[in-house]
């Protein structure tokens, strides 16, 4: 499977993209967005329980969700697609984690051109609602309570998947957070790439269009005034011990883009 949704190297939502009537009638509330979001999740869960949630179904669900965001006023700015579209080898994607939005939309960009999966919180895999969807895509679950066991699992399962040609998407921060704190951005992604002998692609994200709720983060508010940014960098080979230098390079990539975006620019 290789479906070119974006054959160009970047994409910017047209400024005159119309909003859906249902969203406009609800006067800017998140009711329409959340009801459609839940509808997509129930649909994906049903397909997963039927054993049919393969890569193509995953990409299509992500594409539909991407369209929903645009229909509700989201304005995407995507750059750097050329850095992985034609890769012949698996890669480790490493980015900051700001909201649920990137989790839902990344398969649209990545899995449409290569086999891929996530490193995810274990409770998402074992839960009754999201569980069937997540398990269908064979992710690497981590508990976030025992760092040593999490590290071992990511190294073992990650290397095995990369050896089979499956790329890994990992957000090294402990949790989703609008503020990017470099000290919380651990090096597990570059260490995995180093051990597996593959390269990494840095990913800078600004997705606070969809906020995080206090108790159920996926049901936070949406702010249509905020643009959505995804920037993919060139592949990086891991050469320093433990990937220390390369991890700092990824952090610098994310910070520089966030600063530019906050200033109203576009990298």
The predicted-structure confidence for 94-152, as pLDDT tens digits, reads as follows: 999 999 999 999 999 999 999 999 999 898 898 888 899 999 999 999 987 888 999 99
Token pair 């080898």 is at which residue? Answer: 89
pLDDT of residue 31: 85
Q: Is 11 exposed, middle or buried (0-12, 13-18, 19+ CB in 10 A)?
A: middle
Asked whether residue 120 is assigned to any structural domain, the reply reads: yes
Asked whether residue 187 is assigned to any structural domain, the reply reads: yes
Asked whether residue 5 is assigned to any structural domain, the reply reads: no
In 43-55, which positions are buried (b, 16+ CB within 10 angstroms) versus exposed (e)? ebbebbeeeebeb
Cβ atoms within 10 Å, residue 199: 18
Cα 3 from chain centre = 18
Domain assignment of residue 126, given as a range: 11-262
Please check whether residue 194 is in contact with residue 42, taking contact to mean a CB–CB distance below 8 angstroms.
no
Asked whether residue 191 is assigned to any structural domain, the reply reads: yes
Asked whether residue 2 is assigned to any structural domain, the reply reads: no
pTM of the model: 0.93
DSSP state of 18: P
Pairing state between β 92-95 and 167-170: parallel
CATH number reported for the structural domain that contains residue 69 in this entry: 3.40.1130
Cα separation, 133 vs 52, in Å, equals 10
Token pair 């906050």 is at which residue? Answer: 262
Asked whether residue 94 is assigned to any structural domain, the reply reads: yes
Asked whether residue 90 is assigned to any structural domain, the reply reads: yes
User: In sequence order, which ranges of the chain are alpha helices (DSSP H)?
Assistant: 21-25, 31-49, 55-71, 100-109, 122-126, 131-136, 147-163, 188-196, 244-262
| Total domains in the fold of the chain | 1
Asked whether residue 30 is assigned to any structural domain, the reply reads: yes
User: pLDDT (tens digit, 0 to 9) for every residue of the chain, 267 residues total?
Assistant: 545 566 788 999 998 888 877 777 666 678 888 899 999 999 999 999 999 999 999 999 999 999 999 999 999 999 999 999 989 999 999 999 999 999 999 999 999 999 999 999 898 898 888 899 999 999 999 987 888 999 999 999 999 999 999 999 999 987 888 889 999 999 999 999 999 999 999 999 999 999 876 656 667 888 999 999 999 999 999 999 989 999 999 999 999 999 999 888 665
What does the CA dihedral 148, 186, 79, 88 come to, rounded to 10 degrees?
-40
Question: Would you state the structure tokens that stand for residue 69, as one six-digit string?
Answer: 């965001």
Cα separation, 22 vs 49, in Å, equals 30
Cα distances (angstroms) measured from residue 55 to each of 65, 125, 138, 222? 15, 17, 11, 28
């Amino acid at each position: 499977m290789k479906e070119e949704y974006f054959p160009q190297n970047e994409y910017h939502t047209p400024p005159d993209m119309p909003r859906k009537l249902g969203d406009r009638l609800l006067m800017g509330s998140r009711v329409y967005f959340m009801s459609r979001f839940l509808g997509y999740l129930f649909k994906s869960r049903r397909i997963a329980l039927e054993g049919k949630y393969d890569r193509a179904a995953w990409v299509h669900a992500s594409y539909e969700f991407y369209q929903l965001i645009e229909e509700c006023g989201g304005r995407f700015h995507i750059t750097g697609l050329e850095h992985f579209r034609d890769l012949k080898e698996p890669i480790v994607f490493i980015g900051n984690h700001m909201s649920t939005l990137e989790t839902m939309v990344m398969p649209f960009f990545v899995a449409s051109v290569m086999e891929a999966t996530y490193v995810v919180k274990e409770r998402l895999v074992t839960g009754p609602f999201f569980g069937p969807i997540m398990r269908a895509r064979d992710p690497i679950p981590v508990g976030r309570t025992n760092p040593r066991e999490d590290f071992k699992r990511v190294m073992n399962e990650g290397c095995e998947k990369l050896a089979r040609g499956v790329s890994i998407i990992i957000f090294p921060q402990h949790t989703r957070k609008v503020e990017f704190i470099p000290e919380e951005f651990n090096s597990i992604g570059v260490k995995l790439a180093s051990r597996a002998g593959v390269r990494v692609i840095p990913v800078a994200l600004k997705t606070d269009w969809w906020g995080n709720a206090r108790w159920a983060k996926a049901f936070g508010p949406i702010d249509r005034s905020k643009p959505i940014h995804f920037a993919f960098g060139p592949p990086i080979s891991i050469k320093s011990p433990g990937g220390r230098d390369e991890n700092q390079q990824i952090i610098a990539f994310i910070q520089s883009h966030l600063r530019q975006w906050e200033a109203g620019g576009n990298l």
